[in-house]
A and B are shown apart, each in its own frame.
Chain A
Amino acid sequence: MMGPFVPDLISNELNLVIAFLLGTGFGVTLEQAGFSSSRKLAGVFYGYDFTVLRVFFTAAVTAMSGTLLLGYFGLLDLDVIFVNPTWLAPAIVGGAIMGAGFILGGYCPGTSLCAAVIGKVDAMFFVLGGAIGVFGFGELYPLYKGFYESTSLGDIKVFDSLGMSQGLFAFLLIVVAVTAFAVTTLIEKKVAGGAGPSSEFKTKRHVAAGAALLAVGLVLLVLPDRKTSMIARASDPAFLAAHPAEKMDIDELAYRLVDRDPRVQVVDIRPPEAFARQSLPGAKNLPIRQFFGHDAMAVLSPRHVKKVIVGETEAEEHAASRLMIDLGYENAVVLKGGFAAFQAAYLGAEPPAPVEGLSRWAADVTRFRTQARGDILQMIASAKAEAPKAPKPQKKIAGGC
């Protein structure tokens, strides 16, 4: 079982029921934390109550650590989950407007809803104001549509933006969180004296919890991402030298393609753009990072079908075949010389160059190639005509506010 379960295992309707249940948990924890009180929320800006920072930061590092650990153990496909895309300038401006709203209004949208349902009249006004704000934004949308859509950077990750590894960033974030917890508790004791919530903290337990969190950070620092580490291991030249792959030469593949052999499946590991330009008849495009997902299983699992791996280079193909074996699939062979060799012999605009040598065999091969080239090009053309569809976009979950 590998998460997430939407959309493969959970339908849209069931997903709405799950949304309601998870929302209930969200509401209970927000209210229990004291986020239904604007004075408590505003305390973070004046130093008399750092509840917001404590809850927010703890929740963020808990969810982040859990996500990374589940990804490492192969229980959650991190390449599929929704990563909030970055529109840099609108994110900064929007955040600044929200910051002003926070200090004036004393709530954010989620907390205002929690506060409104337990009877906070100021929160009801905040919710009403929020709806008016969205309406105003919608009515004047054409004025700033250009800005709204500017500086789009896609779903980039923060550690890439900062040029560090995922593990190092996670570790540093946890260090910052624990430091902030300690420093703000000292500030709160100064500002609020015995009135702040920290006056009731049991020091020993909190120090122990902080140490445990730092230990999690250390684990994240040394744990590589499972996909990356498995690919790195399978691509290691020394490892590959010790584990030679079964190979198929281009003429055998061409023969089997022309023969429409049902026990051969071409697995093309090149990037989707290269695959879209030209690919072999019946080939399935499966870049190496997609070997881990649900979609790969359908292609790779039939045991009696030979999976012929086609890539830019033989080394890449070899690594992919080792990765398949590591993932529990079998019957993988690599194409000698990679896609380029096959392309040169069978897919060029010109008929193939005669094979060197004077033997009878060389003449046979040349004749075969010339014939098979026509058949294969025709198979490719008719496959294109039958299914004029673009390659299926990679599954990605929609989300966001």
Chain B
Amino acid sequence: MQTKYMNPYLAGFFLGLVLLATIFITGRGLGASGAVKSVVVASVAAAAPEHAARSAFYGPYVAPGAEHPLKAWLVFEVLGVMLGAYFSGLAAGRLRLVTEAGPRVSRRWVRWVFAAVGGALFGIGAQFARGCTSGAALSGMAVLSTAGFVTMMAIFGTGYLLAFFARRLWI
């Protein structure tokens, strides 16, 4: 039996309290894309250590004396995110292998390709903006950072600008 989602305002309030607790205890915000970056850096460092050491992008993370890229705050936070989401889905009866797509997307692989492309764009954009929706936009807004508001408006503004062209994917 699948239970309903929580009232969005209540969920937002709880999410805000989690973020507030994070700022209060650790002095920093939540994030997600930084953990993806850590995993990529660690993989490149394992597969091609010399290449990683020479690179301006990976170099600082694998320099002598630097902590292992996976021993990062966001990596541990994201492990918690996955565990929390899993148990929440389990409790709500939502654990199911399924592909979600708009009503006009008839082939699953089309959805998969667009999801992967969207993920790649997010991965690239989050590097430029130094964070994604959680780390730059939400956490940045909570501490009234200019970057947080700029990033939030750029993400959602572009989303609305392109929504018309992507409508066959969703409605």
B53 at the A/B interface (Cβ < 8 Å)? no
**Closest Cβ–Cβ distance, residue A124 to chain B (whole Å):** 8
- Decide if B16 touches A61 in the complex (CB within 8 Å): yes
- Decide if B133 touches A108 in the complex (CB within 8 Å): yes
Which residues on the B side are within 8 Å of A233 (C-beta)? none
- Decide if A84 touches B143 in the complex (CB within 8 Å): yes
Tell me which of A76, A113, A122, A155 has the highest count of chain B C-beta atoms within 10 A of its own C-beta.
A122
State the CA gap A134–B36 with chains docked (Å).
8
A142 at the A/B interface (Cβ < 8 Å)? yes
List chain B positions with a Cβ less than 8 A from chain A: 5-9, 11-34, 36-37, 39-41, 44, 55-58, 71, 73-74, 76-90, 92, 94-102, 108, 111-163, 166-167, 169-171
State the CA gap A397–B127 with chains docked (Å).
20
Give A53-83 interface residues, CB cut-off 8 Å to B.
Answer: 54-64, 66-67, 70, 75-76, 80-83
Q: Which chain A residue lies CB-closest to B96?
A: A119
Which residues on the B side are within 8 Å of A141 (C-beta)? 55-57
**Which one of B7, B44, B131, B147 contacts A138 once the chains associate, using CB atoms below 8 Å?**
B44
Q: Which chain B residue lies CB-closest to A48?
A: B171
**Closest Cβ–Cβ distance, residue A95 to chain B (whole Å):** 2
A136 at the A/B interface (Cβ < 8 Å)? yes
List chain A positions with a Cβ less than 8 A from chain B: 3-6, 10, 15-34, 36-40, 42-46, 48, 50-51, 54-64, 66-67, 70, 75-76, 80-88, 90-123, 125-139, 141-142, 145, 148, 153, 155-161, 166, 169-170, 181, 197, 201, 206, 209, 397-401
Main secondary structure of the interface of B (DSSP, over half): helix
- Decide if A5 touches B26 in the complex (CB within 8 Å): yes
- Decide if A60 touches B124 in the complex (CB within 8 Å): no
**Which one of A17, A27, A36, A125 contacts B94 once the chains associate, using CB atoms below 8 Å?**
A36
State the CA gap A142–B56 with chains docked (Å).
7
**Closest Cβ–Cβ distance, residue A351 to chain B (whole Å):** 50
- Decide if B120 touches A121 in the complex (CB within 8 Å): no
Closest 10 CB pairs of A and B: A105-B118, A133-B123, A95-B154, A23-B80, A62-B16, A99-B158, A58-B12, A27-B84, A129-B119, A94-B129
- Decide if B100 touches A125 in the complex (CB within 8 Å): no
Which residues on the B side are within 8 Å of A156 (C-beta)? 145-146
- Decide if A397 touches B79 in the complex (CB within 8 Å): no
- Decide if A26 touches B27 in the complex (CB within 8 Å): no
- Decide if A38 touches B57 in the complex (CB within 8 Å): no
